[in-house]
Structure 1
Amino acid sequence: MKRYFMFGLLLVLTITLAACAESSGGASDGAANAEDGGVIDVVWYPNESGSDMKASRDEIGELIKDATGQEVEHHLTTDYAIAIETIVNNNAELAFMGAQGYIEANQRNEKIQPLVVPTGASGTLDDAVYHSWLAVNIDDQEAYKKDGDFSLDTIADKKMSFVSNSSTSGFKVPASGIISHFTDKELEETDLMEGGPLFSQVLFGNSHQGSAVNLLNGNADVAAFCDTCVENYVELVEGEPNRAGSVYRVKDDASEPFNTVKGKEFILISVTPVLNAPFVGNMDLLGEEGFKKLQEYFSSDDVANNEKIFVPEDSNESALFFKSGDERFAPVEDKWFDPIRELSK
């Protein structure tokens, strides 16, 4: 009995070790598997991980499958840091992330490279921007004005909500503007991550949606979030899009997390253009040929004309990308993101 027991134990151990060796592999093994028809893993930020974005994620998955012939798995997250770690540590081939997240990932793993970004309505990179907002509740707007105009002076000692310190439009860009405004306080980025130096309290929503809800449910006085991440949940009711002084209202049929603040209104006190977010690829896992194949297909006319990818602007569907003109995906190089890098210098 003892001999049979030891033989069985050794057999189980051998099978287990073989399975571990097959599934783990190094970076080079991952690249080989991807090129030989393995599964492509796409990691998504919390902003794009919600159920309302499933149709867009699935269509992007089909796009990747068409380009490569490989199956696609979607890696959903609840935290920016997790998404960045996933692709940096060779646990995903692709990611859709903001400029700041890409810069952080590239610093830690130079094999993370930008694939494409969505263009502006011109179909070029000239207007490939979205917008970082600072917003306050509509009933409180007068408290944020000086001599009749909105002023950043008024946000001192308030409860502030950001998205994540790895968010471009939800932290990096607004933080840079705030630091530049309060020159007398000699602030650094870390000073804006906690209450005391400028704000009475600092919250992080972990997504743009979460930061906006922090404002609308009364947990924060001022919130940073971007236009594109909340456009499926809110509607413009006064003013022009992306202008300080414009008023937005949460739609009556808004899904989570806005379902608890339906009908609430907020007003923009500051608007800043931001470079569009890229799809990025892990060259270690994709290989150069796989990377180029994806880049060419993403940038094709077929994809630009796919209404499931670039949803018509007048539709009532939730989507990642909308078509108001000649929007499409365009290849982009690392140096295109240098303006965001400069914010850290």
Structure 2
Amino acid sequence: MKKALLIVIALIMSAITAACSAGGDTKASGGSDDGTLTIAWYPNESGADMKDARDVIGKVIEDATGKKVEHKTTTDYIIAIESLASGNADLAFMGAQGYIEANAKNDKVQPLVVPSGPSGTLDDAVYHSWLAVKNGNEDAYKNGDDFSIDNIVDKKFSFVSNSSTSGFKVPSDGIVTHFSEKEEYKDLTAEDLLEGGKFFSEVLYGGSHQGSAVNLLTDKADIAAFCDTCVSNYVELADGEENTPGSTYKVKADAAEPFNTVPGEEFKLISVTPVLNAPFALNTETVSEEDRQALIDAFTSDEMANNEKVFVPEDATGLFKKTDKEQFLEVEDAWFDPIRDLSK
């Protein structure tokens, strides 16, 4: 009797295994046949003020694929990166460094499109990594008439996340390159910048570009790294030229969270570095080739480029601004090699 029971159990388990192999989890086999696509968003784009922008992109995806879109907002870069790499998310909008980390975890993660530059090409498809200080404190970071990072040692510094391209990878590489030319810091590494006591007196992480900027404006940090595009909805140029060391930016009076606590506060740029634009990426294990091509066609269409809810006017709140000929362009993995090479 016991032996017969074991045989029955074995047969049942075999049938279940066969059924799983035949039908299986479509998320793991590139099917997306459950009728849903999940898109993960970094903390920078997860706020309530970005809901309309997320919904607009979601509608484009739904119309292109015929599938329902679910939005996965996050509070940490690594959540979005791991979600895409593991297949718990099908798509994500992420920085170049985050994409590279997800691709390293799972080479089935591939870029879909990136927003072009104002020329409508990849030639100027960049945004900018800023190092900023509170307005009035900038003289400590000058060498003659020019701004310099020589005096950032032993200061309180705010990064965004160690998975952020413009909020960690690019500025940390710039700092290491600059200081390693000095005998005292010839062995300096990016790892030495991760926590206080080795180079900075204290290191903070904003969790988002907005959070890093607020760390600066609330005097938690002396210097902060964050990017232009992620704070453009909250600040305005007060003096100087856009994306130029020495320029001053001011928080708008009606700025949304988290800047609503620091209206009118000003900061000054001491360093500006161009960074490759952030991609929409997808997991080709969970998104079918048919859906991938449909998404490329939709994103790179003239209709998308002229959609004022996607590429919003310069004075409007949105993810992408329309200043000239901005559009989405298909891009390959190798395009991100300049950022990948920073880790070599």
Q: TM-score, normalised by structure 1?
A: 0.91
User: Separation in 1 of the partners of 2:207 and 2:323?
Assistant: 29
Selected match of 1:179 from 176, 179, 204? 176
In the alignment, structure 1 residue 101 sits paired with structure 2 residue 98: yes
RMSD of Structure 2 on Structure 1 (CA): 1.8
Please report how far the alpha carbon of residue 31 of structure 1 lies from its aligned counterpart in structure 2 after TM superposition: 2.9
Q: Which amino acid is the alignment partner of residue 272 of structure 1?
A: T
Aligned equivalent of 2:341: 342
Aligned equivalent of 1:244: 245
Q: Residue 25 and residue 140 in structure 1: after superposition, are their counterparts in 2 closer, same or farther (change >3 A)?
A: farther
Aligned equivalent of 1:329: 328
User: Separation in 2 of the partners of 1:224 and 1:115?
Assistant: 27
Q: Which amino acid is the alignment partner of residue 167 of structure 2?
A: G
Q: Which amino acid is the alignment partner of residue 243 of structure 2?
A: N
SS of structure 2 residue aligned to 1:61? helix
Aligned equivalent of 1:300: 301
User: Separation in 2 of the partners of 1:228 and 1:298?
Assistant: 20
SS of structure 1 residue aligned to 2:267? strand
Aligned equivalent of 2:227: 226
Q: Residue 27 and residue 71 in structure 1: after superposition, are their counterparts in 2 closer, same or farther (change >3 A)?
A: closer
Whether the 8 Å CA contact 1:45–1:77 is kept in 2: the answer is: yes
Please report how far the alpha carbon of residue 26 of structure 1 lies from its aligned counterpart in structure 2 after TM superposition: 4.2
**After superposition, where does 1:153-168 map in structure 2 within 5 Å?**
153-168=150-165
In the alignment, structure 1 residue 48 sits paired with structure 2 residue 45: yes
Please report how far the alpha carbon of residue 304 of structure 1 lies from its aligned counterpart in structure 2 after TM superposition: 0.5
SS of structure 2 residue aligned to 1:225? strand
User: Separation in 2 of the partners of 1:57 and 1:77?
Assistant: 13
Selected match of 1:74 from 71, 74, 80? 71
Aligned equivalent of 2:30: 31
Aligned equivalent of 2:144: 147
Whether the 8 Å CA contact 2:98–2:164 is kept in 1: the answer is: yes
Whether the 8 Å CA contact 1:42–1:95 is kept in 2: the answer is: yes
User: Separation in 2 of the partners of 1:334 and 1:29?
Assistant: 22
Aligned equivalent of 1:114: 111
User: Separation in 2 of the partners of 1:26 and 1:137?
Assistant: 52
User: Separation in 2 of the partners of 1:61 and 1:341?
Assistant: 29
Q: TM-score, normalised by structure 2?
A: 0.91
Aligned equivalent of 2:214: 213
In the alignment, structure 1 residue 63 sits paired with structure 2 residue 60: yes
In the alignment, structure 1 residue 138 sits paired with structure 2 residue 139: no
User: Separation in 2 of the partners of 1:191 and 1:29?
Assistant: 39
Whether the 8 Å CA contact 1:27–1:90 is kept in 2: the answer is: no
Whether the 8 Å CA contact 1:37–1:69 is kept in 2: the answer is: no
Q: Residue 37 and residue 302 in structure 1: after superposition, are their counterparts in 2 closer, same or farther (change >3 A)?
A: farther
Whether the 8 Å CA contact 1:121–1:324 is kept in 2: the answer is: yes
Aligned equivalent of 1:280: 281
Q: Percent identity?
A: 63
> Which protein has the bigger helix share?
1
Q: Which amino acid is the alignment partner of residue 65 of structure 1?
A: E
Whether the 8 Å CA contact 2:41–2:93 is kept in 1: the answer is: yes
User: Separation in 1 of the partners of 2:162 and 2:232?
Assistant: 22
Aligned equivalent of 1:5: none
Whether the 8 Å CA contact 1:98–1:276 is kept in 2: the answer is: yes
Whether the 8 Å CA contact 2:26–2:34 is kept in 1: the answer is: no
SS of structure 2 residue aligned to 1:31? coil
Q: Map Cα deviations across residues 105-125 of structure 1 (whole Å, 9 max, x no partner).
A: 001101100000000010000
User: Separation in 2 of the partners of 1:28 and 1:124?
Assistant: 33
Q: Which amino acid is the alignment partner of residue 138 of structure 1?
A: N
Q: Which amino acid is the alignment partner of residue 338 of structure 1?
A: D
Q: Map Cα deviations across residues 290-313 of structure 1 (whole Å, 9 max, x no partner).
A: 111111211111100111000122
Please report how far the alpha carbon of residue 148 of structure 1 lies from its aligned counterpart in structure 2 after TM superposition: 2.8
